Chain A
Amino acid sequence: MAAFLEIENVSKSFRGLKAVSNVSLNVEEGGMVALIGPNGAGKTTLFNLIAGVFPADEGRITLAGNDILGLRPDQICDAGISRTFQLVKPFPDMTVLENVTVGALHGAQNIQEARKAARNNVELLDLANKIHLPAHSLTLPDRKRLEVARALATRPKLLLLDEVMAGLRPTETDEMVAVFKSLNQETGITILLIEHVMRAVMSLSHHVAVLHHGKKISEGTPGHITQDPEVLDCYLGEEEDV
């Protein structure tokens, strides 16, 4: 059976530099897959390829069997994929609620319905007491939460999370992990995440893929990855040195 999200031999170069090189990855429906690797490994480039930010040089990406490569970002969202940005992109002059309402308007019948849905997402991400603050006044961890709330508000089938837990305290990380776990169980949402916080990767993902210099060097269960000598050599091992 075909996977929900299928990435097949995708490559992308920037001025001759292979940012993503012949990467294949399958994500099952309802799965939670983590994408890890050192900085500059091509993780965000792969996200941008899925999200339609720029076209791939080669390869194929399908969602539920439909080709999505070459679609514009808004069409990708229509197809059921929502993403967060590693460098957060809030709408600074809009309030938290308005930010999330923009997301919720995707598929909502009217403003009232969208605001109601947005409110739920704001509460889910623990931003309820900042609901009427302009987004530019939020701290970075809150902006990360806002990114997630806004992306979730579009009611995606697949959520792409780009380092949303960076900068959170361990207890806050656990809270956010709990949110994703319960969402995954309740709504069956599929999640593909880029994350450096191994604490989150270990407790959240069913499956981990490791990128290095644009190539996939390993994949498997979290337990398997942490034993892989190549991964330890290029990525996980480094952290222990620090």
Chain B
Amino acid sequence: MMGVNFLADLTIKGKAGLLLILAILISLPFWSSSYIISVATITLYLAILGQSWNLMLGFAGLLSLGHALFVGISAYLAAYVFSVLGLPPVISVFPAVLLAILMGMLIGYLGFRFSIGGVYFALLTIAFAELVRISVDHMGFIGGTEGLFLPVSEGDRKGVDLINLRGHPFMFYYLAMVLAFLTLAGCRTLLKSKLGYYWQAIRDDQDAAQALGINVFRYKMYAVIYSSGIAGVAGVFYAFYQNSLFPESVFGIERSIEVTLGPIVGGVGSLFGPVLGAFILTPLGEGLTELIDFLKNSGIIDPKLKLNGLKLLIWGLVVSLIVLFKPRGIWPWLSDKLGFCRTEGD
């Protein structure tokens, strides 16, 4: 049902394009390298997170700069109960997502109850993410700064165990693909529902929205709940894909910012923008790392040259160019050019 709906606003060309992309994605493991699969998995993972972040800012006008928090606490919870109790992620995903949602609700409650809007709300999300990062640093039972490691045995990377999320990298790749598609379809359904209309109304003009009978507090809370919930699901995936969690690399502000870049490049507020953004930025960053390594190995540039920040520099440049020349992102412009989406009409 969701899938059928999903196709409704694509033109014939758009459907063909979607089929082609799906065909490439599904067949990727059969003709590419394991390295490309790992890049593609991270890309899909970031597409899910971009979608989650876009739901808050693009749909409801709520700027979160602490999305790593929702991912992180969910990842930590699922990883902890797996390593201590052996509880499989298929079960722990529920409390993990619930924890992410509760965290979202707490931030949302404080922000919306006391009318902390715009950039101040973003500061609140950063504050909570940092608070949790520093707290986890000092929590010995989940590893503190030493990190939390999931038990991995030799045979784990061979099979397919979806209950325990242990298996071949291809399993993670396909799982990420399914999750990314479900997130996209789910967000589309939400956007076309009463919730989506209300979120956009609140985003565009809160006073007018309230005058039309919208309980602004409640609908903003729904946005945070859905967004943090999706991030929570992604967090469980991340924990079992990475097998190691460190406070800095999970909750750090870089992680939260990374989440925002895909949607900004692809198009905030659009459905496919976050996906497109992830598919532009992640391969770009990885390709650049590869290129530098290649240049160093072949002696074209001095191997001792430190170019650690170059990836971030290039990303910054890309984002600046997008903001300057395509402030609504690439997707709205691209889909117009390609004629992939039906224009609004019954």
Question: Using a CB-CB cutoff of 8 Å, which residues 79-124 of chain A contact chain B?
Answer: 82-83, 85, 89-95, 97-98, 101-103, 105-106, 110-111, 114-115
Q: A90-B205, A91-B201, A132-B344 are in contact. Are A111 and B213 (CB under 8 A)?
A: no
- B80 at the A/B interface (Cβ < 8 Å)? no
Q: How far is the CB of B331 from chain A (nearest CB, A)?
A: 15
By a CB distance below 8 angstroms, the chain A residues around B201 are 91, 94, 102
- B135 at the A/B interface (Cβ < 8 Å)? no
Q: A82-B211, A102-B198, A105-B198 are in contact. Are A132 and B204 (CB under 8 A)?
A: no
Nearest 4 A/B pairs, CB to CB = A77-B213, A91-B204, A89-B208, A106-B213
Q: Bound state CA distance, A97 and B207, in angstroms? A: 19
Contact indicator A111/B194 (Cβ below 8 Å):
yes
- A21 at the A/B interface (Cβ < 8 Å)? no
Q: How far is the CB of A115 from chain B (nearest CB, A)?
A: 8
Q: Which of B193, B208, B212, B216 has the most CB of A within 10 A?
A: B212
By a CB distance below 8 angstroms, the chain A residues around B210 are 72-74, 77
- B200 at the A/B interface (Cβ < 8 Å)? yes
0 or 1 for each of B179-206: is its CB under 8 Å from A? (1 = yes): 0000000000000111001101101110
- B249 at the A/B interface (Cβ < 8 Å)? no
Contact among B192, B200, B215 with A91 in the assembled complex (CB-CB below 8 Å):
B200
Nearest chain-A residue to B211 (Cβ)? A73
Q: A78-B213, A105-B198 are in contact. Are A93 and B269 (CB under 8 A)?
A: yes
Name 18 extra pairs, CB < 8 A, besides A94-B201, A106-B212, A110-B194: A72-B210, A72-B215, A73-B211, A77-B210, A85-B211, A89-B211, A91-B201, A91-B205, A94-B204, A97-B344, A102-B198, A102-B201, A105-B194, A106-B214, A111-B192, A111-B193, A115-B346, A151-B212
Q: Which of A98, A102, A114 has the most CB of B within 10 A?
A: A102
Q: Bound state CA distance, A70 and B194, in angstroms? A: 27
Contact indicator A98/B200 (Cβ below 8 Å):
yes
Contact among A51, A93, A95, A101 with B211 in the assembled complex (CB-CB below 8 Å):
A51
Q: Bound state CA distance, A92 and B200, in angstroms? A: 10
By a CB distance below 8 angstroms, the chain B residues around A43 are none
Contact indicator A74/B343 (Cβ below 8 Å):
no
0 or 1 for each of A12-52: is its CB under 8 Å from B? (1 = yes): 00000000000000000000000000000000000000010
Q: Bound state CA distance, A103 and B345, in angstroms? A: 19
- B209 at the A/B interface (Cβ < 8 Å)? yes
Q: How far is the CB of A155 from chain B (nearest CB, A)?
A: 10
Contact among B197, B207, B269, B345 with A102 in the assembled complex (CB-CB below 8 Å):
B197
Q: Bound state CA distance, A94 and B203, in angstroms? A: 10
Query: What are 7 of the A-B contact pairs (CB < 8 Å)?
Result: A73-B207, A73-B210, A74-B216, A78-B213, A91-B204, A97-B344, A102-B214
Q: Which of B201, B208, B211, B346 has the most CB of A within 10 A?
A: B211
Chain B contact residues, CB within 8 Å of chain A: 192-194, 197-198, 200-201, 203-205, 207-216, 269, 343-346
- A150 at the A/B interface (Cβ < 8 Å)? yes
* Size category, A interface: 20 to 34
- A154 at the A/B interface (Cβ < 8 Å)? yes
Contact indicator B344/A95 (Cβ below 8 Å):
yes
Q: How far is the CB of B65 from chain A (nearest CB, A)?
A: 22
Nearest chain-A residue to B212 (Cβ)? A103
By a CB distance below 8 angstroms, the chain B residues around A103 are 212
By a CB distance below 8 angstroms, the chain B residues around A110 are 194
By a CB distance below 8 angstroms, the chain A residues around B211 are 51, 73-74, 76-77, 82-83, 85, 89, 151
Q: Bound state CA distance, A95 and B343, in angstroms? A: 11
By a CB distance below 8 angstroms, the chain B residues around A78 are 213
Chain A binding site: helix, strand, loop or mixed by DSSP? mixed
Q: Bound state CA distance, A154 and B210, in angstroms? A: 12
Contact indicator A101/B213 (Cβ below 8 Å):
no
Contact indicator B204/A93 (Cβ below 8 Å):
yes
Nearest chain-B residue to A156 (Cβ)? B213
By a CB distance below 8 angstroms, the chain B residues around A83 are 211
Contact among A90, A114, A115, A132 with B208 in the assembled complex (CB-CB below 8 Å):
A90
By a CB distance below 8 angstroms, the chain B residues around A115 are 346
Q: Bound state CA distance, A115 and B344, in angstroms? A: 13
Q: How far is the CB of B335 from chain A (nearest CB, A)?
A: 16
Q: Which of A89, A101, A110, A151 has the most CB of B within 10 A?
A: A89
By a CB distance below 8 angstroms, the chain A residues around B197 are 98, 101-102, 105, 111
Q: Bound state CA distance, A106 and B215, in angstroms? A: 11
Q: Bound state CA distance, A90 and B208, in angstroms? A: 7
By a CB distance below 8 angstroms, the chain A residues around B208 are 85, 89-91, 150
Contact indicator B200/A82 (Cβ below 8 Å):
no
Q: Bound state CA distance, A77 and B193, in angstroms? A: 21
Contact indicator B212/A82 (Cβ below 8 Å):
yes
Nearest chain-B residue to A116 (Cβ)? B346
Contact indicator A102/B344 (Cβ below 8 Å):
no
Nearest chain-A residue to B328 (Cβ)? A93
Q: How far is the CB of A157 from chain B (nearest CB, A)?
A: 13
